[in-house]
Amino acid sequence: MQTLLVVGAGPKAVAVAAKAAAMRAAGVPAPRIIAVEPNTVAGNWLSGSGWTDGNQRLGTSPEKDVGFPYGSHLGQGSSREINRIMMSRSWSSFLVEHSMFAEWIDRGRPHPQHHLWAKYLQWVAAEVGLKRVAGRVTQLGVDGGSWRVTVAGNGADESVIAADAVMITGPGPSDRKLLDHPRVLSIAEFWDLTGRRQLPAASHAAVIGGGETAGSALDELVRHDAMLISVISPNATLYTRGESYFENSLFSDPSRWSALSPQERREVIRRTDRGVFSVRVQDALLGDNRIHHLQGRVVAAYADDDLVALSLHNETRPQRTCRFDLVVDATGGNPLWFTELLDDAATDILELAVGWPINQDRLETVIDYDLSVSGLRPKLFLPNLAGIAQGPGFANLSCLGALSDRVLRSGLVADAAATATAISSTPGT
């Protein structure tokens, strides 16, 4: 049996593990799934993760769960059985199991808070027996046709795991901020202070970013002492994610994506995904007259007495400088965060497959149907970068069932046996 090692035990790891378990139960061969995770399963949806305080609400419907859209065609004759098993791991099944289904329906199917979404994912992980290695991946190396994954355990131990393929998940660290200043907060610091009820009062706060990370921070900030809040983003306005049938169907069903031209794809992603707030966040914030939008890209930040000065660049207007007494850097994760884990040999083979220098534009165009980097062996699955090439839903929670189908359908399943074993373990290092 081959092994797929997933970096991070978030929804993507849980979705792939659940589908692999369903395939095996239906008599279809599937690789072994190992998730390496320093925190608990779905840790990024809980307080302390640096991305939320756990009380924010999911932007998408929870029915877009680990099996959605339930259209598996894996294994001839077994697809119905796989879909049936996956339905037993659905959001609704979780609610039924915990006697919460009727109340959820009667309350109008509310989007759950992040901590409840985490509980759902943890329930699925437990049901399917997700194998979690407690630790943080610190290096990705290659050894012939397989990956050598170095894991720093939560103690002082270090181990190396061999895997036939690796999948990267998550947005990476949340402690980035544009200026080291007590009045400038990374998104991790923002949620930490919020959780400890120590977020400083502000007369003019700025939230930098126009995406889901900024939306969540803004949603929280309006409940605190802030007289004026400026949202800074390069776009002409604060876009709301489209929620019409046509927009949603492109996220749920990526099969039509390949028929669009590269320009049309970028247009869809620009209008519906990157740098857009969910409808729920926009609805909650529109009525608050303390919130304003400042168009521009922050090109400089410096301390100015007790304030923080931000210089904003616009394509068509002169640069301007604005001053704030609280700045939240909510520009979001870095999709290339994993490249820092690659050792020299792994960087070399990725460069050969992608071209030099490795950057987001290049990577986004070389993601294959199975969500791995085209031409790279051993396989490296990058669903977070698959939006442009394969469909906008693969980077987020919009089609986790389709994501797991594509990954598990890849050559991994068909290839001959190989096992992932801890090939060295050096406690105390």
Ligand X SMILES: Cc1cc2nc3c(=O)[nH]c(=O)nc-3n(C[C@H](O)[C@H](O)[C@H](O)COP(=O)(O)OP(=O)(O)OC[C@H]3O[C@@H](n4cnc5c(N)ncnc54)[C@H](O)[C@@H]3O)c2cc1C
What is the contact surface with ligand X in residues (CB under 6 A)? 7-13, 36-39, 43-44, 51-52, 58-60, 136-137, 169-171, 212-213, 216, 384, 396-398
The residue (of 164 and 220) whose beta carbon lies closer to ligand X is 220
The residue (of 15 and 307) whose beta carbon lies closer to ligand X is 15
**CB-based contacts of 426, cutoff 8 Å, min separation 6:** 157, 158, 159
The residue (of 187 and 205) whose beta carbon lies closer to ligand X is 187
Write down the least CB distance from residue 214 to ligand X, Å.
9
Number of residues that this document lists for the chain: 429
Write down the least CB distance from residue 395 to ligand X, Å.
7
Beta strands 297-304 and 239-240 are: unpaired
Question: What is the distance, to the nearest Å, from the Cα of residue 347 to the centroid of all Cα atoms in its chain?
Answer: 23
Number of Cβ atoms within 10 Å of the Cβ of 379: 24
d(CA 220, CA 113): 13
Dihedral over alpha carbons 125, 129, 131, 132 (to 10 degrees): 40
Taking Cα atoms as reference points, which of 120, 81, 406 lies closest to residue 257?
406
The residue (of 136 and 293) whose beta carbon lies closer to ligand X is 136
Write down the least CB distance from residue 37 to ligand X, Å.
5
Write down the least CB distance from residue 160 to ligand X, Å.
14
- Provide the residue type at 411 as one letter: G
Beta strands 3-7 and 165-168 are: parallel
**CB-based contacts of 69, cutoff 8 Å, min separation 6:** 252, 253, 399, 401, 402
Cβ 395 vs Cβ 383: under 8 Å:
yes
Hunting for tokens 């706060």 — which residue is that?
205
d(CA 123, CA 173): 25
3-class state of residue 273 by DSSP:
coil
Per-residue burial over 206-215, b if 16 or more Cβ lie within 10 Å, else e, is bbbbbbbbbb
The residue (of 75 and 215) whose beta carbon lies closer to ligand X is 215
The residue (of 170 and 378) whose beta carbon lies closer to ligand X is 170
Write down the least CB distance from residue 118 to ligand X, Å.
9
The residue (of 32 and 323) whose beta carbon lies closer to ligand X is 32
Write down the least CB distance from residue 51 to ligand X, Å.
4
Number of Cβ atoms within 10 Å of the Cβ of 67: 28
Write down the least CB distance from residue 298 to ligand X, Å.
19
Write down the least CB distance from residue 424 to ligand X, Å.
18
Write down the least CB distance from residue 294 to ligand X, Å.
22
Taking Cα atoms as reference points, which of 227, 277, 8 lies closest to residue 136?
8
Hunting for tokens 């103690």 — which residue is that?
155
Hunting for tokens 């071209």 — which residue is that?
355
Number of Cβ atoms within 10 Å of the Cβ of 238: 22
The residue (of 28 and 46) whose beta carbon lies closer to ligand X is 46
The residue (of 233 and 396) whose beta carbon lies closer to ligand X is 396
- Provide the residue type at 295 as one letter: Q
The residue (of 164 and 273) whose beta carbon lies closer to ligand X is 273
d(CA 45, CA 374): 31
Tokens standing for 238? 């604060």
Write down the least CB distance from residue 419 to ligand X, Å.
21
